[in-house]
Amino acid sequence: MKLRVLVRLVEIQRVLLRHGLDDYVRATHLYRPLRFLFFLSPGVWFERRRTVSRAERLRLALQELGPIFVKFGQAVSTRRDLLPADIADELAKLQDRVPPFPGAIARESLERTYGRPLAQVFDAFDETPLAAASIAQVHAARLPGGAEVVVKVLRPGMRAVIERDLEVLHALADLAHRYWAEGRRLRPREVVAEYQKTILDELDLMREAANASQLKRNFAGSELLYVPEVHWDYCRTDVMVMERIHGVPISDRARLKAAGTNIAQLAENGVRIFFTQVFRHNFFHADMHPGNIFVLIDDPQRPRYAAVDFGIVGTLDPGDQHYLAENFLAVFDRDYRRVAQLHLQSGWVPPDTRVDEMESAVRTVCEPIFDRPLKDISFGRILLRLFEISRRFNMQIQPQLILLQKTLLNVEGLGRELYPDLDIWSTASPILREWMRERTSVRALLHELRTHAPELIAAARGMPAALQGLVLRRAGVARAQTPAPELSELRAELRAARRRDTLTLGVAYLGGGLFWLALSRAQEWPGWVLLAAGVGIIAYGLRR
């Protein structure tokens, strides 16, 4: 283990101790003897006498430890069902109230980036930040022409800080993989590698601007979600400029209620947005904590979400997307055997897993929570039961799904805060069923054929040459191994095989053309082309 990793681990312990978080130090079991040396430090005892609540001490420690720890605090702050109220309230401050860096430094950074005084870039720039987060902070500004915008600026030295802590995470993951009994199943190395890609992507604000642009295009014309406009001419790797929105923070329930907002509709829309992003668009905002979500209430009865901070987005492999949708629907239908079968088919559990045993275990966890609103569901207990199931069946962690799981927890936490009577099952089920119907429809098949038609045609064109080459290679081998009197018989067989292959290809073209003409409502010419090609190939095959 590198020296700087060891130094950082000791520093983490020191920070926790200095903020009086002794229980956390004991729980980590890292450098246990050194812990007692810290206890002897006068500075530690002085800090321990401060009359500061445990929740505030935890928040301050996470802030001091840096962005990776702040993001952890942000993620768990949405789960008030899993945390004591005082800790949840305090960690919520990490969502948009991290101590800012001086506005003068932000100005200097922007002037270096643009290569000219800021007065020549913006008509106005407010050095007092609107909000500060773990990696960047945002300032209000006005473009030439009067458009109101926000300017997002990276914190100085962020990459070095994050890369240092990523080294620590990799070191801990290696130790866990080698010496922890659950290490191979939980795949800590892969989890950290997945997280590394996510956190480093956040340091490229051009990537974030592209994410915002894609999300805006996905929800163009939608009444569910509004995404601010990106001003590309002002964006750089360490600066992003986008339209300023004036909405109500999702966490300000008092203001939403005072405005007469339809809270139930708002909560249901949050679920619709999540499932639409994940399954219809396969591109989802993966940092949906309350600090990044606002509500537009021009029409309180038809509230509309507005999202900011697009540094973390997720996509799914089509196979994972399909299995997830199937799993959700099986749970909605209480088809627990199907859930067990899907886990086997996807390879998420070992192939020797007994379906009936897993079916019974899933039923035990899921059955008690149906037909209940969020307020009556103990997700803390459910999570513990799910962890027990995963251990029992040696279920491997799927690192590629961690972002999705994190986002689902955020969405469920938001729903719990907004409208505890929300029925997630009845809201999500129609969306998934419609998506599955569309995905398996004839129209979807036709779309796939049209999309991949150039590749299919190119492959078909190359098939005769490929078949001829294969036949010639086989003929060469046969010629070398077959006595001369049998050569004529072999040639006859090869000609018959070539004819069969040619006729099969012609029939395939013919069938494709008929299928296209039967289903196409617009462009019919590809169908006629396929028909003509099929007839020509069949005629050629018959002459051979």
Residue type present at position 388: E
Q: Answer yes or no: is pLDDT of 499 > 70.
A: no
Give bridge partners of residue 97 from the DSSP assignment.
132
Q: Between 188 and 433, where is the model more confident?
A: 433
Q: Between 417 and 154, where is the model more confident?
A: 154
Q: Between 455 and 178, where is the model more confident?
A: 178
Residue 24 domain flag:
yes
Residue 131 domain flag:
no
> How many Cα atoms occupy the beta-carbon half-sphere of 517 within 13 Å?
13
Of 72, 95, 118, which residue constitutes the final position of a domain? 95
Reading the block at residue 95, the tokens are 């969502």
Handedness of CA 299, 423, 377, 70 (dihedral sign): negative
Residues 459, 388 within the same domain = no
Contact criterion met (CB below 8 Å) for 125 and 89: no
Domain range for 43 is: 3-95
Q: Answer yes or no: is pLDDT of 425 > 50.
A: yes
State the pLDDT at residue 31: 45
Q: Using CA atoms, how far apart are residues 411 and 191, in angstroms rounded to an integer? A: 21
Contact criterion met (CB below 8 Å) for 223 and 273: no
State the pLDDT at residue 115: 95
How many structural domains comprise the chain?
4
pLDDT tens for 241-295 read 999 999 999 989 899 999 999 999 999 999 899 889 999 999 999 888 788 899 9
> How open is the CA angle 429-435-437, to the nearest 5 degrees?
100
Inter-helix orientation angle 3-18/158-179, to 10°: 100
Residue 144 domain flag:
no
Contact criterion met (CB below 8 Å) for 262 and 302: yes
Which of 64, 63, 68 lies closest to 90 in space, CA to CA? 63
Q: Between 530 and 369, where is the model more confident?
A: 369
Q: Using CA atoms, how far apart are residues 82 and 93, in angstroms rounded to an integer? A: 17
Residues 280, 324 within the same domain = yes
Which of 379, 351, 341 lies closest to 79 in space, CA to CA? 379
Residues 448, 420 within the same domain = no
Of 95, 112, 135, which residue constitutes the final position of a domain? 95
Q: Using CA atoms, how far apart are residues 47 and 56, in angstroms rounded to an integer? A: 13
State the pLDDT at residue 6: 72
Residues 285, 426 within the same domain = yes
Q: Using CA atoms, how far apart are residues 159 and 86, in angstroms rounded to an integer? A: 32
Q: Between 386 and 420, where is the model more confident?
A: 420
Residues 321, 467 within the same domain = no
Contact criterion met (CB below 8 Å) for 267 and 422: yes
Active site residues: 287
Q: What are phi and psi of 126, to 5 degrees?
A: -95, 115
Residue 263 domain flag:
yes
Residues 386, 430 within the same domain = yes
Q: Between 30 and 341, where is the model more confident?
A: 341
* Mean pLDDT for all residues in the chain: 78
Contacts of 347 (CB under 8 A, 6+ apart): none
State the pLDDT at residue 507: 57
Compute the average pLDDT of residues 347-364.
87
Instruction: Determine how many CB atoms are found less than 10 A away from the CB of residue 511.
Output: 13
Residue 149 domain flag:
no
Residues 530, 413 within the same domain = no
Which of 158, 402, 87, 514 lies closest to 533 in space, CA to CA? 514
Q: Indicate the DSSP class of residue 219.
A: T
Contact criterion met (CB below 8 Å) for 316 and 278: yes
pLDDT tens for 518-539 read 555 445 555 556 556 655 655 5
Inter-helix orientation angle 487-519/525-543, to 10°: 160
Proportion of the chain above pLDDT 90, given as a percent: 26
Residue 416 domain flag:
yes
Which of 507, 506, 501, 492 lies closest to 470 in space, CA to CA? 501
Confidence of residue 220 (pLDDT cuts 50, 70, 90): very high
Residues 434, 302 within the same domain = yes
Burial letters 385-404, b for 16+ CB under 10 A, else e? bbeebbeebebbbbbebbbb
Instruction: Determine how many CB atoms are found less than 10 A away from the CB of residue 525.
Output: 10
Residues 451, 405 within the same domain = no
pLDDT tens for 38-75 read 555 555 555 454 567 888 888 888 888 888 788 777 76
Residues 435, 483 within the same domain = no
Handedness of CA 71, 77, 79, 83 (dihedral sign): positive
Q: Answer yes or no: is pLDDT of 125 > 90.
A: yes
Q: Using CA atoms, how far apart are residues 310 and 412, in angstroms rounded to an integer? A: 19
Residues 58, 174 within the same domain = no
Place of tokens 């008030």: 80
pLDDT tens for 66-117 read 887 887 777 667 666 567 778 878 887 877 678 899 999 999 999 999 999 9
Confidence of residue 455 (pLDDT cuts 50, 70, 90): low
Q: pTM (2 decimals)?
A: 0.71
Compute the average pLDDT of residues 178-195.
73
Which of 487, 512, 503 lies closest to 540 in space, CA to CA? 503
Residue 122 domain flag:
no
Q: Using CA atoms, how far apart are residues 10 and 35, in angstroms rounded to an integer? A: 9
Name the strand (E) or helix (H) holding 22: helix 22-28
Residue type present at position 371: D
Q: Strands 248-249, 284-285: parallel, antiparallel or unpaired by DSSP?
A: unpaired
Residue 28 domain flag:
yes
Q: Using CA atoms, how far apart are residues 150 and 169, in angstroms rounded to an integer? A: 33
Query: CA distances (Å), 283 to each of 67, 190, 209, 214, 294, in order?
Result: 24, 22, 14, 9, 20
Q: Using CA atoms, how far apart are residues 35 and 14, in angstroms rounded to an integer? A: 8
Residues 330, 262 within the same domain = yes
> How open is the CA angle 538-541-542, to the nearest 5 degrees?
90
Q: Answer yes or no: is pLDDT of 412 > 50.
A: yes
Of 95, 119, 138, which residue constitutes the final position of a domain? 95
Residue type present at position 111: E
State the pLDDT at residue 521: 47
